[in-house]
Structure 1
Amino acid sequence: MTASPRTAPATTPATAPTTAPATAPATAHRAKVSVVVIGYDDAAHVADAVRSALAQGDAVREVIAVDDCSTDGSAALLDTLAAGEPRLRVIHRAVNSGGCGSPRNDGIDAAGAPYVMFLDSDDVLPPGAVDALLGTAEAHGVQVTAGLCVRRELPSGREIPWERALYAGPAVLPHPSRRPRLAHDTLCVNKLYRTDFLREHGIRFPVGHYPYEDCVFTARVLAAAPRVALIPDTVYVWHVRRDAERLSISLDRSDISNWRARTEANREAYEILLNAGEKRLARAVRAKFLDHDLRMYTRELELRTAGYRRAWWDHTRAYLSAFDAADLTLNPSAPGRLIARVLLASPAPRDLPRLRELAARPARLLPPYARASDGTPVWSSDLPQVTLEHFLERPAHLLPAAVDAELRVRARGTRLRLRLHELYGRMAEAGPVAVDVVFTRREDGHEGPRSEARLLADRYGDLWTATTPVELSALEPGTWDLRLNLRFRDGTGREVTAHAVGGSGLLRRRAVPDVRHGVRSVLLVQPYRTHAGSLALRTASGWRGMTEVLRRRLGRLLH
């Protein structure tokens, strides 16, 4: 999703306009949807976005393209498209707004159809999206219909569903509070809205330069208590271009102002819902912040400068201090809540590697495992107020188990060594017996060869180890994430990722024979540590693949 540039906020109104299978069947008179496409300086992609909206068929009465004072030829390109397409209208803003909210508000004002939805200039609507949303909205008479959004990583094409569980099956909700998880889906683009509902309730986006405007808009929608329908269809494709010259707001997190903007949007969303009497939804807004936002930024904290880390720590502590005790203690074993409790207990940044691992998905709690003088598990001996006694009661298959992984790449054979740590006696109680090992290709989820290894306890009873061979030649070129499933004595299991250990000697590139392509071929293998501290692999086949990997790495360094 592309945001407008960081210019001075402006609220100058726009100039006048110039020239999957459906979940439920659409009604006879189909032209009932206005699709609002917003963009700024995105000539490379905006035509694809517009065409994807027009290709939805006759359910779309009009596509309203709002150009936010582009300087790269986008405006002329849209005018050319409109000249040959009567359903396309173009609105040219006189002054750049500095954000996404004002252009979307222009679209709401201009919409002439009973329903409206939003599309960013660098994303697309998949075939059948509007039919699926409109058919359900008409069949159930709801004000808001929402479907699944997928994040498509480019250029790899890997797709990651957004809030998959929320859209696991169809549902009709008479009130948003029936499904508090709705507050976690802060996107506005995977939803179809009754136009008169937005206008009657005065629901608008924040204007000017307001990052994360979706969060506030979504809160305003939920506060108006619409009937909501959910469908499992994929209705929006969010393109994630991490190598773009201008990163989207959600990807450009290197400046502390981005974090401040995110916390401000979360704060305003919470207050909107609380003031509307929707306490369950307001609490869900804070839960989403702890489980998603806080964990994401914590994983990246070690990558930032000392000045950024200090400013982030101070700002986050100040923001969390306004939370109710129940926000942090309702589910005290949740990783985001534990991170928040450590932050509040410490006035200065500390334990960043350990917090990074706790923020991973699934979470890992690395040693040391301290206890207070009375034996209560605690975060550390100097932070005894951050207690961990809840870990003594949770089932073992839900605990943040910590597994270390070392991958020793050798021409004569590669072996993976794993170490499972004890956790306040709970691992020994559960009795780990084996671990299933698989490398999964990040681009498409394809699984490489699986292996199983027995877990053996050491003499002290606080570690279990396993070693298994890895057939690197069976891994095709790509990026591979290590996935593990711990198996316990009672038949239960725990899916985990592994903490990458070892210095540069274990994480450097190596060339090994590629038996798939002959004795003269090589496979370039690079074990590496992800931002969350997990072990992963990059592989490239042949000398040409090696050259391409090196070229991309050099490009990232120069960028």
Structure 2
Amino acid sequence: MSSVNEGVVTVVVITYNDAERVSEAVTSALAQGDAVGEVVVVDDASTDDTPRVLERLAAADPRVRVVRRAGNSGGCGTPRNDGIDAARFPWLVFLDSDDVLPPKAVDALLAVARRHDADVAAGLCVRRELPGGREIPWQQQLFTTESVHDGVARRPETLWDTLSVNKIYRREFLLSRRIRFPDGAAHYEDFVFTARVYAAGPRLAVTPETVYVWHVRYGAGQASISLRRDRIQNWQDRVTAHQQVLEIMRDSGERDLLVAAQTKFLEFDLAVYLRELPQRAPEYQDLWWRISREHVRAFEEEAVSRATPAARWRTAVLLGRERQAAGLRRLAELAADPPRLPPPYAGDPRRPLWDEVPSTPGGADEIVLDGLADAPIERLPWYVAADVKAGRRLLLELRLPELYGRTAHAGPQRATVELRHRVTDAAHRCEGVWETVPGGAGRRAVVAVDAGALCEDGAITTWDAWVTVTFRDGETVTRPLRAGSGLRRLVRLGRRGRVLLIQPHATHSGCLALRVADGLAGMRTVVAGRLARHTRR
């Protein structure tokens, strides 16, 4: 007796010159079970060993069908469109050849789609960082519970999910609405495709199950499009794709979706690039500023007013300051997640300002941090820095500035530092008490770290530092600790007289992390790594 799920889904895998990884992707699709009737692999004219790998996969399992393009399309959209055209089954799932489907992903998507008679069903995607293996959920706030929605206009936060690969689609829905990916060398094609799907008003089901594993390979020879943010063309491509998204939303007649798409850009897209902008060359910064200002200047006023306070302030700086006067490092802090606002603090508690400018009060060139004076404690852009003190113990001296009078009013009481293992869920906590700094400069707390508790036999571990501030009324906020002074290699004796090598350092985003080598084996690993780097120079 056959199952009702047997052979109802086509998984479309696209590949180009990916002989080393395509087999894992196809195998993960075949392993989904009886629901997968076929795996259509579209080879975008590979010139490596990919065609021979696909021949072997097709010979081993009759469900594998290979569609080979005569010429390379230059992007991901055309091969996915070829897969839509070639599919024989009523449901579609997309998979890239360098990613995988986790076990039971197709069953989870198909079940929720059928349960709610949906045109599209979406699930959680996790970004798996390789080679380390750390997994970070993508837009997790959208996938907390199972739900169903007739269109997305009443759930505009759906627009934050711009992925095409964490979903199952009723093929007839795509064909009847003529929904396709942009052809050719278009980048960020997912943005445009998902906008077309959302604008078509699908019945959308959502599951909290993990349905896609997105492999992020740092240090790879050829980074994916989304990781090439050091190239100004990447930003131009992203803005171009977003312009197409806005056109799609305008044509749909759903003004709320148009405004929501603009607000999402202010909240997310701008912030991602602003965090890294201080590290770019001046020529990149100038072009980025010009492209961004031109794009954002055309947004609806309502899109800005709907944004969070930090996003409104970032937008005001972009539109109201030239790049040279904007304070890029401070702006990058304000673009962090969660946002942080370091000193100096211009203006006063009644009228907090981004900076001091030579103008009359209330002048057009003033950038007022509207909403800061009365924002809830958890929404304030708290900034906590840590100086590493090298004494008999490893000490962290924490500094919490006076934020326009809000710090004194909230009354910080306790500081809890949590050191989180970079890969596992392990965490170690230590506490300190906040003291007032003379002169009204904020608060100070000293926390002692048990470095021995961070060790693993013969291994090097990395711990990210976070701090939870507990206020007078019991409210708390948690923020990553910013790296201050004292970032130098330290040698300490740990438990049972073991030698510890401790390296406090600033991460790529300026946050504090501790790298700990336990014992002689760990130290040998550190030395070997340093020698290898010198050898390569």
What is the total number of aligned residue pairs between the two structures?
Answer: 524
CA RMSD between the two structures = 2.0
Of stretches 542-551 and 208-217 in structure 1, the one that deviates more from structure 2 is 542-551
CA contact (8 A) 1:176 1:182 kept: yes
Match of 1:401 among 356, 371, 382: 382
TM-score (norm 1): 0.90
Which residues of 2 match residues 289-368 of structure 1 at below 5 A? 289-331=265-307, 333=309, 335-349=310-324, 350-368=326-344
Residue matched to 2:508? 531
How far apart are residue 118 of structure 1 and its match? 0.3
Moved over 6 A (4+): 553-559
Match of 2:452 among 467, 473, 476: 473
Match of 1:451 among 423, 426, 430: 430
Residue matched to 2:225? 249
Aligned-partner residue type, residue 487 of structure 1: T
- Alpha carbons of 1:409 and 1:54: their partners in 2 closer, same or farther (altered >3 Å)? farther
Which residues of 2 match residues 162-181 of structure 1 at below 5 A? 162-181=138-157
- Alpha carbons of 1:381 and 1:27: their partners in 2 closer, same or farther (altered >3 Å)? farther
Residue matched to 1:104? 80
CA contact (8 A) 1:332 1:390 kept: no
Gaps of 5+ in 1: 1-25
CA contact (8 A) 1:97 1:208 kept: yes
CA contact (8 A) 2:386 2:483 kept: yes
Which residues of 2 match residues 11-26 of structure 1 at below 5 A? none
Of stretches 324-333 and 177-186 in structure 1, the one that deviates more from structure 2 is 324-333
How far apart in 2 are the matches of 1:29 and 1:425? Answer: 61
Residue matched to 1:385? 366
How far apart are residue 385 of structure 1 and its match? 2.1
Q: Deviations over 1:379-432 (max 9, x none)?
A: 00128521013101111222001111112245x210000011111111111111
Match of 1:510 among 469, 484, 490: 490
Q: Deviations over 1:452-475 (max 9, x none)?
A: 211011222231000011111211
How far apart in 2 are the matches of 1:270 and 1:556? Answer: 47
Gaps of 5+ in 2: 359-364
CA contact (8 A) 1:212 1:262 kept: yes
Q: Deviations over 1:465-515 (max 9, x none)?
A: 00011111211332211111111111111111222122xxx2122232343
How far apart are residue 445 of structure 1 and its match? 3.1
Q: Does 1:488 align with 2:464?
A: no
Aligned-partner residue type, residue 378 of structure 2: H
Of stretches 225-234 and 338-347 in structure 1, the one that deviates more from structure 2 is 338-347
Aligned-partner residue type, residue 394 of structure 2: T
- Alpha carbons of 1:134 and 1:96: their partners in 2 closer, same or farther (altered >3 Å)? same
TM-score (norm 2): 0.93
How far apart in 1 are the matches of 2:175 and 2:27? Answer: 27
Of stretches 391-400 and 57-66 in structure 1, the one that deviates more from structure 2 is 391-400
How far apart are residue 321 of structure 1 and its match? 1.0
CA contact (8 A) 2:12 2:42 kept: yes
Q: Does 1:38 align with 2:14?
A: yes
Q: Does 1:439 align with 2:419?
A: yes
How far apart in 2 are the matches of 1:251 and 1:28? Answer: 41
How far apart in 1 are the matches of 2:146 and 2:444? Answer: 44
- Alpha carbons of 1:54 and 1:555: their partners in 2 closer, same or farther (altered >3 Å)? farther
- Alpha carbons of 1:60 and 1:544: their partners in 2 closer, same or farther (altered >3 Å)? same
CA contact (8 A) 1:328 1:341 kept: no
Residue matched to 1:420? 400
Residue matched to 2:37? 61
How far apart in 1 are the matches of 2:523 and 2:243? Answer: 47
Aligned-partner residue type, residue 404 of structure 1: A
Q: Does 1:118 align with 2:87?
A: no
How far apart are residue 175 of structure 1 and its match? 1.7
Aligned-partner residue type, residue 251 of structure 1: L
- Alpha carbons of 1:109 and 1:166: their partners in 2 closer, same or farther (altered >3 Å)? same
Residue matched to 1:70? 46
CA contact (8 A) 1:211 1:261 kept: yes
Which residues of 2 match residues 211-226 of structure 1 at below 5 A? 211-226=187-202
SS in 2 for 1:390: coil
Of stretches 386-395 and 104-113 in structure 1, the one that deviates more from structure 2 is 386-395
How far apart are residue 339 of structure 1 and its match? 1.4
Aligned-partner residue type, residue 500 of structure 1: A
How far apart in 1 are the matches of 2:63 and 2:48? Answer: 24
How far apart are residue 275 of structure 1 and its match? 1.4
How far apart in 1 are the matches of 2:139 and 2:208? Answer: 11
How far apart in 2 are the matches of 1:430 and 1:367? Answer: 18
How far apart are residue 547 of structure 1 and its match? 4.7
How far apart are residue 288 of structure 1 and its match? 2.2
Q: Deviations over 1:213-237 (max 9, x none)?
A: 1000000000110000000110001
Residue matched to 1:271? 247
How far apart in 1 are the matches of 2:276 and 2:531? Answer: 21
How far apart are residue 553 of structure 1 and its match? 7.0
CA contact (8 A) 2:133 2:423 kept: yes
SS in 2 for 1:117: strand
SS in 1 for 2:259: helix
How far apart are residue 271 of structure 1 and its match? 1.7
How far apart are residue 158 of structure 1 and its match? 0.8
SS in 2 for 1:62: strand
How far apart are residue 282 of structure 1 and its match? 2.2
How far apart in 1 are the matches of 2:521 and 2:283? Answer: 41
Residue matched to 2:362? none
How far apart are residue 531 of structure 1 and its match? 2.9
